[in-house]
Homo-oligomer: A and B are copies of this chain.
Amino acid sequence: MAATLQIQTDGKGLYEITDRVHEVIASMEVDDGVCVVFVQHTSASLTIQENADPSARRDLEGWMERSVPEGQPEFTHTMEGADDMPSHIRSMLTDVSLSIPIVDGRLTLGTWQGIYLFEHRAESHRRRVVVQALGA
């Protein structure tokens, strides 16, 4: 069973989608299995990160901005703007798919783990994330 989430983004940054994934998984009634989360883009990605303190999120975003900066003179793939190529690199460094065990019908996320969509483009986008439950 699979469902597709539509995530509206509004510029670069981490968007928490934990509750929406929980909701989909709960509706699928899989007791023992795995949840696969898959983003259908190459300029937005996934990561599991601390969801307690927003300062961690801001620092992750800031580190990416400094470590994979826009405007590198070597870039040739720039037709869609200065954030185009950094988006692909940032996606490559994070995750396109996550596999999370389901035990007793629940995702086995740790206490402080949240699931995030990482939007790498400056403009607003509607992103597609496939959420699947496999098992019985």
Report how far A2 CA is from B76 CA in the complex, Å: 38
A8 beta carbon closer than 8 Å to chain B: no
Would A34 and B132 be within 8 Å (CB), given that A85-B59, A88-B49, A95-B96 are in contact? yes
A6 beta carbon closer than 8 Å to chain B: no
Are A100 and B97 in touch, CB under 8 angstroms? yes
Partner of A76, one of B59, B88, B109: B59
A contact set with B: CB distance below 8 Å: 1-2, 32-34, 36, 38-43, 47-50, 53, 55-56, 58-60, 62-63, 66, 68, 72, 74-77, 79, 85, 88-89, 91-101, 103, 108-113, 128, 130, 132, 134-135
